[in-house]
A and B are shown apart, each in its own frame.
Chain A
Amino acid sequence: MIKPPVASESEWRAQRVELLAEEKELTKHKDRVNAQRRRLPMVEVTKEYLFDSAQGKRSLKDLFEGKHQLIVYHFMFDPEWDEGCMGCTGFVDALGDLSMLGERDTTFTLISRAPLSKLLAYAAKRGWDRPWVSSFESDFNYDYHVTLDEKVAPVEHNYVRAKEMKGSNGLEGENHGMSVFFCDGDEVYHTYSSYSRGVEGVTDSYSLLDLTPYGRQEDFEDSPAGWPQKPTYG
């Protein structure tokens, strides 16, 4: 079978310590990028968005539930679909207890475009009790570039406009992402959005598999020849 080479304790340790130096550098690199994120400015949200929730209509400000920071996971659920996106489903399944967010003045919510009844049915099926509201009939998903439709708003993905992109034909419909908002009194501000691989750091299984010899076992990875691999995100 395919397996890592066997070494003596001291040979292994020499390589492990070399990797540790790079791991520490990576942690510091991440700290620096996070520090820069905390220095981003923010943009006032002047449009009024209304969401459907189990408790009735809610504004963007309502979603903060009295906290100052709001994290939105843009869950891909097209109004025509009967089930949520499999990747987003895995993402939400992999979330554990998030009570530390509340302790740190932050609320977490899911937002999708499918009508509320579909979201509630899917959440019940999966056993989720995270806040989840519908942006059906609002521009929210289009304005934050997670529903792409040239007829509604100029298309861009991960900060690249469709016209600057090669092969942008498939750029239509739902995309996943994470957006962060800040609330001060009655004003709501948009501070941050990330898309694509920008959200994968939250998936525990990926974080843990990254520590194993085989890694995530996906074909985007640079692994030794013969390592088990599946299609990426497959």
Chain B
Amino acid sequence: MNMPPVATESEWLEKRIDLLKKEKELTRQTDRLNAERRRLPMVKVEKSYIFDSPEGKKSLLDLFEGRHQLVIYHFMYGPDWKEGCPGCTGFINEIGNLDLLAQRDTTFAMVARAPVSILQAWAQKHGWNWTWVSSGENDFNYDYHVSFREGEEATYNYAPRGRTDEGEGPGISVFFRDDEDNVYHTYSNFARGGEHATDSYSLLDLTPYGRQEDFEDSPEGWPQKPTYG
């Protein structure tokens, strides 16, 4: 079978320490980038968005639940879809306890375009109790570049989307509320920007075989499936 070469303890240690240096460099690069993110400006949200929730209509301000920071996962669920996106479903399944967010003045919520009754059914099927509201009656998903109208020249991940069919894309957006209840958009990411919250990927990254997806540069013969497949 395909497996890593066997080495002596001291041969292994030499290579492990070489990798450790690069891991530390990566951690520091991540810290620097996170520091830069904390210095982004923010843009006031002037439009009023009203979402459908199981408890009735909610504004974007309501979604903060009194906290100052709001992290929104843009869950791909079109109004006509029979099921939620499997990738987004996996992402949410992989989220564990997020109590630390609330302890740090931050609320997590999911937003999708499907009607709230459909969202509730999908959440129940998966045993989720995260806040999940519908943006089906507003422009929220279009304004934050995660839903696309037929024939529209849209952008995704800050670049031309390159296609004009109807569709949904994954993303995470962050909003800030000041003490006067003004709401600001601070950040959005798309595509691979959200994948680090997936525990299985983070853990598989530590194994010899990695994620076992074909985007990876792995030794010849390593087990691989289609990426995100």
Contact = CB atoms under 8 A, between A and B. Distances in A.
Contact of A96 (B29, B69, B96, B206): B96
Contacts of A32: 217
Which range holds the interface residue count of chain B?
A: 35 or more
A104 interface: yes
Contact of A37 (B9, B41, B43, B206): B206
Contact of B36 (A19, A95, A189, A194): A19
B44 to A, nearest CB: 6
Given A1-B178, A104-B209, A212 B199 contact: no
Contacts of A5: 41-42
Contact of A101 (B29, B44, B200, B222): B200
A7 interface: yes
Contacts, number: 287
B131 interface: no
Contacts of B34: 210, 215, 221
A42 B96 contact: no
Interface string A104-119: 1110100000000000
A19 B16 CA distance: 31
B108 interface: yes
A153 to B, nearest CB: 13
A153 B26 CA distance: 31
B138 interface: no
Interface string B175-205: 0101100001111110011001101101111
Interface in A76-98: 90, 93-98
Contacts of A19: 33, 36-37, 40
B155 to A, nearest CB: 10
A11 interface: yes
B90 A100 contact: yes
A55 interface: no
A38 interface: yes
B33 A4 contact: no
Contacts of A206: 100
Interface string A1-32: 10111111101110111011011001101111
Contact of B205 (A37, A210, A214): A37
A23 B191 CA distance: 12
A211 B71 contact: yes
A66 interface: no
A62 B82 CA distance: 42
A17 B185 CA distance: 15
Interface in B206-221: 206-212, 216-219
Nearest to A191: B208
B153 interface: no
A121 interface: no
A216 B6 contact: no
B174 to A, nearest CB: 5
B12 interface: yes
Given A3-B178, A15-B41, A192 B26 contact: no
Contacts of A184: 1, 3
B19 interface: yes
Nearest to B218: A38
Interface string A128-156: 00000000000000000000000000000
Nearest to A183: B3
A215 B97 contact: no
Contacts of A16: 40, 158, 187-188
B158 A41 contact: no
Contacts of B216: 31, 34-35, 38
Contacts of B31: 220-222
Given A37-B205, A184-B1, A191-B4, A42 B38 contact: no
Contacts of A3: 42, 176, 178, 184
The 9 tightest CB contacts between A and B, nearest first, are A7-B41, A41-B7, A205-B100, A100-B200, A93-B97, A97-B93, A96-B94, A222-B35, A96-B96
5 contacts: A33-B19, A192-B208, A212-B186, A213-B69, A222-B35
Given A22-B36, A38-B4, 9 more contacts: A34-B210, A37-B206, A94-B98, A98-B94, A106-B203, A182-B3, A189-B6, A192-B206, A215-B38
